[in-house]
Amino acid sequence: MKILPLVVASVLLSGALVRAQPPHAPQTIQVAVDVEGPADAASKLADEVKKGLATEKDVEVISRVDARRIVRLIVSASGGVYGVSMLVTEQYDRPTLMVLGIEDDDLAGRMMMLQIVNEHQGFAGGDLAEIGRQVVASLDDGLFKTLRRLRQP
């Protein structure tokens, strides 16, 4: 019966240790930004979107090579009006495919090479800075909001 006090003490001590650990740092949402179109318009839009994403505390813009999630913007211009098409694509990993029920390794291998579109929107206007703000606001209210909700305990 001398074991029971040891078990109780170890359970109490382990609970105290768990509470004493610092909370985990929140995960960042990592995205790459890829903008195509006329060089001057694409460059300005990319700068505006990256500047807007930099204000998000939990969003990190990373290189396209390292990114699973890519924000693709295609800009066109005509008569001082810009049209921007936004596609957000994601490359699935094996655990995600398992959750989706893809158990066959060959099929999973092929699917992991693809970029799956999970959001598409269009924007238009005469000011690329304003369109950039709209793109960031749309991401924040759509995809980023969903991702933040998913990682909450």
Positive or negative, the CA dihedral 38, 62, 50, 115 is positive
CA dist 83 and 138 (Å) reads 15
Quick one: CA torsion of 49, 54, 60, 64, rounded to 10 degrees?
A: 30
Residue 27: which pLDDT band, with cuts at 50, 70 and 90?
confident
Q: What is the mean pLDDT of the chain?
A: 83
> Which structural domains are found in the chain, ordered by start?
25-150 (3.30.160.100)
Position 76 scores a pLDDT of 96
Residue 99: which pLDDT band, with cuts at 50, 70 and 90?
confident
Who has greater pLDDT, 150 or 49?
Answer: 49
Who has greater pLDDT, 46 or 65?
Answer: 46
Position 16 scores a pLDDT of 42
Edge to edge, the sheet with strand 69-78 lists: 59-61, 29-36, 69-78, 81-90, 116-125
> Among residues 75, 81, 92, 58, which one has the least CA distance to residue 135?
75
For the chain, the 3-state helix, strand and coil shares in percent, each to the nearest 5, are 45, 25, 25
Largest CA distance in the chain: 88
Checking if the pLDDT of 2 tops 80, the result is no
